[in-house]
Amino acid sequence: MNTIQNLWPFLLIIFSCYLLKYACDTFEQAASYLGRNFPPGVKGATVNAIGSSMPEMCVVIATLFWFGDPSLVMVALGVTAGSAIFNGCVIPALSIIMAKDENGVRVQSIQLTKRTLIRDVFWVLTAEIALIIFLGFNHFTLWMAVVLNVIYFFYAVHLYIDAKRHQQGEDIYEYEEIDDRGAFLNLITFNFNTLFFSNRPFTLLPALVVLSLAIAVISGSSYLLVEGVLGSASVLGVPEFFAGLIFGSAASSVPDLMLSVKDAQKGEYEDAVANPLASNTFDTTVAFALPLLAWFLINGVDSLPLVQDQSLTLLRWSIVGITGAVAASLLFNYKKVTRNVAYFLLAMFFFWAGIMYVLIG
């Protein structure tokens, strides 16, 4: 019985990974239709980023509204911040290692656009620096939440300007079909458009229904993820913050990982690397700060206490340090990003996780 009890939290985390992966596929399918008239840059900064970052946002929502314990926002912070480091190191690394050309042949290196890379790095570092400054205070305030959301707004504006500058013509929306797997498999993989609307191209009402159902699954999955994180911390005898930082962040990053690897295997290297960077900007601003802003307004308060300890200090500086190292690795090698860069990024992630375990766990 003890063995089952000890394994249960980790099974919950694995199960939540499965739920999040398929629910986010469905979310992005419907959201792509709803954002079909957005310029490409704005669509990427809103529809795509929200789709792959919904788990992090829902974890914050779960800790604040479902568990009803504001102190658990530190677990959510661990998930969000750990996701940023996982996204920055592991996802680009695996994308590079698994990259193929347009003919499906494995490649030894990829090439990136320096201008795009600089833009995304600038905004993710701006967002993360703002976050670590705010986390240095004894309270996280309503106005800090507002500032983080404003940073993301300016990032979206920057993307919009770039999109308009380089737009070659009007983008035509293409329905992103999810294969019909049969009634049972459609049900357990949340292929709602096939289940309820015969897999027809979207109109407004079906898109809203599918989006709402996907959000419901993602929200429930995030609740299970938080339960698993809290349970795993108890089993391992480590702080809940650390469990969120490692296990929660890896689980919530599954949609980002799958999306980037798919892009890399289609030869779309820019998207494979840009997606986790843009997602990190969203995670450290809107995904973390928007639920907090709503919580402040609903409860009529303007601040939330932060416990200043070693773990929070380490997290603050490691976020920017790791992101800076990732940025330098990619920028210095953007013309030819080889597997050696990927191995360096993976080694950096595991070294960081080990250091955090020794110093926090």
**Per-residue confidence at 83, pLDDT binned at 50, 70, 90?**
confident
pLDDT at 308 over 60: yes
The Cα 205–Cα 182 span in angstroms is: 23
pLDDT at 272 over 90: no
Average pLDDT over residues 3-14: 85
Q: Which residue has the higher pLDDT, 144 or 246?
A: 144
pLDDT at 120 (0 to 100): 86
Angle between helix 339-360 and 73-97 (nearest 10) = 160
Average pLDDT over residues 158-172: 69
How many Cβ atoms from other residues are within 10 Å of residue 278's Cβ? 27
Q: Which of 358, 360, 352 is CA-nearest to residue 84?
A: 352
Average pLDDT taken over every residue of the chain: 83
pLDDT at 139 over 70: yes
Identify the weakest region by mean pLDDT among 96-100, 210-214, 240-244: 240-244
pLDDT at 220 (0 to 100): 84
Are the C-beta atoms of residues 211 and 34 closer than 8 Å to each other?
yes
The Cα 27–Cα 47 span in angstroms is: 9
Average pLDDT over residues 332-359: 86
pLDDT at 169 over 60: no
Share of the chain above pLDDT 90, in %: 15
pLDDT at 59 (0 to 100): 84
- SS3 call for 150: helix
pLDDT at 41 over 60: no
pLDDT at 44 (0 to 100): 57
Are the C-beta atoms of residues 141 and 302 closer than 8 Å to each other?
yes
pLDDT at 309 over 70: no
Q: Report the range out of 144-158, 162-176, 272-286, 293-307 with the highest average pLDDT.
A: 144-158
pLDDT at 1 (0 to 100): 53
The Cα 228–Cα 234 span in angstroms is: 10
Task: Indicate whether this model's pTM tops 0.85.
Answer: no
**Per-residue confidence at 215, pLDDT binned at 50, 70, 90?**
confident
Give the helix ranges, DSSP H, for the chain. Answer: 2-34, 40-43, 49-61, 73-97, 114-135, 142-166, 183-188, 192-197, 204-236, 240-243, 249-252, 254-265, 269-282, 288-299, 310-331, 339-360
Please give the helix or strand (H or E) that residue 141 lies within, else none: strand 139-141
pLDDT at 171 (0 to 100): 53
